[in-house]
Amino acid sequence: MSGARWPRRSRHSDGPWTQAVTRHAAAVQSARHLGDQLSEAGALTDLGGARQLTGDYAGSARDLDQALALYRSLGDRLGQANALTGLGAGRQLTGDYPGAARDLDQALALYRDLGSQLGQATALTYLADVRRLTGDFLRAARELEQALSLYRELGSQLGQADALTRLADARRRTGDYPSAARDLEEALALARDLSNRLGEANALTYLGDVRQLAGDSLAAARDHELALSIYRDLGDRLGQAGALTDLGGARQLTGDYAGAARDLDQALSLYRDVGDRGGEAEVLNETGTLHLASDEPARARECHGQALELARAITSAWDEASALAGLGHCAIVAGQPVHARALLRQAHEVFERIGAAEAPAVLAELNALTPGHSS
């Protein structure tokens, strides 16, 4: 089940993005040849965004750093805000959440000073992703509601669809499934009206999550398969990794352990290739759950242990709690109730602190292991 993932930017709706990298790189060289620094900065910003979509985060950061330096030398505050937004998004994708929040806060302040509603909405959307990825779901929802309001004032259907998809995920994480489903249906309709395939894939991904939580794993798998097909057409490697992670989870619940293992292995390889540590932690936890269901507790412990280390390194509270809960389940199977209680207690404390929907279920497991506890 998705916890560390986020929808990709729907404003980049057309692929394949490798072609966009080629075009923007040519624009950078042309601007340099002409000595036009403003055009060069703009082309570098676009190139950095295109590289992000192909999973080249190191290259994207180099381009955006160069763009930011040029904009600062030119005194172009709007350009600075745009480059900072791109840098913040890139840091988030590699698990540098404090750095991402710093860049995005600076961008938001610049956009507000300049009176740019579109810039504010964009920065708020990315800031909300950072909040969600660090477990602050309620704050994420508030920022996304602000972004959605701005997009509606601007009449941006594309922005609305993007914000609604993210808002749905924040609400899902706190257990508000009806609101999440309603937001996603609206986002999906908007994306299809706009022929925005990326937005459609994003909405389908999260709609599949909601269907799975409602107990309809077959429908969830269909949604994830359709999303995966679109992500592959677009060349979106991160989108593919997320869809494969969720598809693996859905297949596991239908008893297709071999299919689940295949999907999760592909997802893990993609996350590692693009350097997404949050995604890696998520898929390791999902793989640990699969190993435990397949009667492989030692392999399950190894996966959850790796996930816990990664989650703590990137301060991803939801992934940390999920790893602790997974290790607790391993301890139960190993006949270690005292150790299991300690792990589940830690998991519950984190889930409870961040307002995650998993908190009650973990508490119930903990109570069931507690001697003398009566429900």
Structure tokens at 61: 């950061």
Tokens, residue 140: 């994420």
Tell me if domain 17-275 and domain 276-375 are identical in fold. Answer: yes
**Superfamily of the domain at 276-375:** Tetratricopeptide repeat domain (1.25.40.10)
Q: Confidence class of residue 67 from pLDDT cuts 50, 70 and 90?
A: very high
One of 3.30.465.10, 1.25.40.10, 3.20.20.60, 3.40.50.960 is the CATH number of 17-275, namely 1.25.40.10
Instruction: Tell me the pLDDT of the chain averaged across its residues.
Output: 91
pLDDT in tens, 4-23: 454 544 444 455 667 788 88
Place of tokens 């180099």: 62
Residue of 175, 148, 242 whose CA lies nearest to 203: 242
pLDDT band at 333 (very low <50, low <70, confident <90, very high): very high
- The C-alpha atoms of residue 2 and residue 78 are separated, in whole angstroms, by 34
Q: Is 153 exposed, middle or buried (0-12, 13-18, 19+ CB in 10 A)?
A: exposed
Nearest to 166 by CA among 7, 1, 3, 2: 7
Dump pLDDT digits (tens) for 244-286: 999 999 999 889 999 999 999 999 999 999 889 999 999 999 9
pLDDT the model gives residue 13: 45
> Which has the higher per-residue pLDDT, 370 or 86?
86
Structural domain boundaries of the chain?
Answer: 17-275, 276-375
CB-CB contact of 159 with 129 (8 Å): no
Contact 182, 212 (CB under 8 A): no
What are φ and ψ of residue 83, in 5° steps?
Answer: -65, -40
Task: Round to the nearest angstrom and report the end-to-end CA distance of the chain.
Answer: 28
pTM beyond 0.85, yes or no: no
CB 49 within 8 A of CB 25: no
pLDDT digits 0-9 by tens, 175-200: 898 999 999 999 999 999 999 999 99
Share of the chain above pLDDT 70, in %: 94
Over the stretch 218-251, which tens digit does the pLDDT of each residue have?
A: 888 999 999 999 999 988 888 999 999 999 999 9
> Who's near 147: CB < 8 A, 6+ residues apart?
120, 121, 122, 124, 125, 128, 159, 163
Contact between residue 253 and residue 263 where contact means Cβ atoms under 8 Å apart: no
